[in-house]
Amino acid sequence: MGKMNVGHKMSPGEIIFANAQLVLEGEVIRGAVRVRDGRIAAVDQGGGVPSGAVECDGDLLIPGLIELHTDNLERHIQPRPKVDWPHLAAILAHDAELAGVGITTVFDAMRVGSVISDGRTDYRKYARPVASEVMAARNAGMLKISHLLHLRAEVCSETLLEELDEFTNADRVGILSIMDHTPGQRQFRDLSKLKQYVCGKHGMSEAQFAEHVAGLTAIHARLGAAHETGAVAAARRLGAVLASHDDTLSQHVAASAGHGVQLAEFPTTPEAAQACHDHGIAVMMGAPNLIRGGSHSGNVAASELAEAGLLDILSSDYVPSALMTGAFRLAELWDDLPRALSTVTAAPARATGLDDRGCIAPGLLADLVRVRLIDGAPVVRGVWSHGRQVG
């Protein structure tokens, strides 16, 4: 790491971010970052500000955040029950929202696996056409940040294998998570919590809820095992990182490890989180859980796992701005800003094999976020993706 040369002349296409608090791996230093052709060319120490540089006024400069699991695109496409918003407008709004809160890489999560026998529209196929629309927008240069796919393979469904067969290596599927939302286990062990969630969201009656539970239970009994096997095979075929979802028991984690799972999304108990670490599986928890002080489903609190050293990665889940806020909450809990920010930068990059981002270091992509703490809240003051300002 060099010293900042205030006399350095900037070349065409070069940007220097000067007089910033640089959050590096394991330390925070006063210094500057030189960007050239979309990548970090140099990291220098010192508070000097060369002519033409971006004066950061002592603000934090951090790597762009990496989001592995977000329902946000789905929310834009269906802003109200039974409303199908124009997809390109939804994709662009989703992209801009993430850029605005400091996320520069996102794995857009899309459920794969439909339930076609109960007449409900929210369990119908949608991932393949939406994925194609995201890819088309990306290829046309319409998007501000990097988009990859996260296929959420629902084993408790009727059409999972057919839908997975529609995806190929050209789709940039980075993560495939095996989900099992069969009532009475994993996330919804407590049926009263499931009833509260489903009836509140969809206005079901008591009789409709009972029919819903019975229908899904029957589907799982008939197809669950074959779907789980097929999902594991699809992840291998697509070259995707395999993730588990809502592991609750050590037996769940042992099965995940046997499948080759590398990432555990939202384990619901300390037992499962500890088992994940014992098997070398990274644990991801929801930032909303951390910020709210607990899980809306009554499962383990993210803060409990953080205090036990069992939390590796944060996800914004259903609130994009929660990723930045959650990381700074962890910084307070751990009294360690670099460690906390690694849960939304370096750790998710490592978990998904993205070796070109996640840290501020020469040679990596210039995905950078300028942040100032005001009254304890992180305020985003600038976002750059591949060296281009996008927020």
Measuring CA to CA, how many Å separate 322 from each of 65, 109, 230, 354? 11, 16, 33, 22
**Under a CB-based contact definition with an 8 Å cutoff, are residues 180 and 220 in contact?**
yes
Domain holding 225: CATH number?
3.20.20.140
**Under a CB-based contact definition with an 8 Å cutoff, are residues 259 and 242 in contact?**
yes
In a domain, 363, yes or no: no
Which run of H or E residues covers position 90?
A: helix 87-100
CB atoms within 10 A of CB 81: 10
In a domain, 288, yes or no: yes
Question: Which range among 49-58, 217-226, 291-300 shows the weakest confidence by mean pLDDT?
Answer: 217-226
* pLDDT single digits (tens) 94-138: 999 999 999 999 999 999 988 777 655 556 788 999 999 999 999
**Structure confidence at residue 6 as a pLDDT band (50, 70, 90):** very low
Q: What is the mean pLDDT of residues 290-312?
A: 92
Domain holding 29: CATH number?
2.30.40.10
Kindly state whether residues 189 and 52 are assigned to the same domain: no
Q: Would you state the pLDDT for residue 221?
A: 72
Kindly state whether residues 321 and 178 are assigned to the same domain: yes
Please name which of 198, 173, 186 lies closest in space to residue 112, comparing C-alpha atoms. 173
pLDDT at 68 over 90: yes
In a domain, 98, yes or no: yes
Kindly state whether residues 70 and 196 are assigned to the same domain: yes
Kindly state whether residues 117 and 55 are assigned to the same domain: no
Mean pLDDT, the chain, rounded, equals: 90
Measuring CA to CA, how many Å separate 2 from each of 42, 51, 65, 74? 8, 18, 26, 45
Kindly state whether residues 49 and 75 are assigned to the same domain: no
Give the whole-angstrom CA distance, residue 22 versus residue 46: 11
Kindly state whether residues 16 and 155 are assigned to the same domain: no
SS3 for 311? Answer: coil
Question: Which range among 9-23, 101-115, 211-225, 329-343 shows the weakest confidence by mean pLDDT?
Answer: 211-225
**Under a CB-based contact definition with an 8 Å cutoff, are residues 332 and 349 in contact?**
no
Measuring CA to CA, how many Å separate 87 from each of 77, 125, 240, 272, 278? 6, 15, 25, 37, 42
In a domain, 365, yes or no: no
Give the structural domain span for 55.
Answer: 2-61+376-389
pLDDT at 324 over 80: yes
- Work out the angle at residue 342's Cα, subtended by the Cα atoms of residues 264 and 241, and round it to the nearest 5 degrees: 35
Kindly state whether residues 222 and 277 are assigned to the same domain: yes
**Under a CB-based contact definition with an 8 Å cutoff, are residues 85 and 64 in contact?**
no
Q: Would you state the pLDDT for residue 81?
A: 80
What share of the chain in percent tops pLDDT 90? Answer: 76
Kindly state whether residues 183 and 328 are assigned to the same domain: yes
Q: What is the mean pLDDT of residues 339-367?
A: 98
* pLDDT single digits (tens) 189-243: 555 555 555 554 556 666 766 666 676 777 777 777 899 999 999 999 999 999 9
Kindly state whether residues 380 and 253 are assigned to the same domain: no
Q: Number of folded domains in the chain? A: 2
**Under a CB-based contact definition with an 8 Å cutoff, are residues 214 and 194 in contact?**
no
Question: Which range among 49-53, 164-168, 201-205, 232-236 shows the weakest confidence by mean pLDDT?
Answer: 201-205
CB atoms within 10 A of CB 125: 17
* pLDDT single digits (tens) 244-289: 999 999 999 999 999 999 999 999 999 999 999 999 999 999 999 9
Kindly state whether residues 270 and 179 are assigned to the same domain: yes
Kindly state whether residues 14 and 70 are assigned to the same domain: no
Kindly state whether residues 116 and 171 are assigned to the same domain: yes
Give the whole-angstrom CA distance, residue 385 versus residue 391: 9
Give the whole-angstrom CA distance, residue 390 versus residue 200: 37
Residue 108 burial (C-beta neighbours within 10 Å; 0-12, 13-18, 19+) = buried
Q: Would you state the pLDDT for residue 4?
A: 55
In a domain, 364, yes or no: no
* pLDDT single digits (tens) 171-204: 999 999 999 866 656 555 555 555 555 554 556 6
Q: Would you state the pLDDT for residue 156?
A: 82
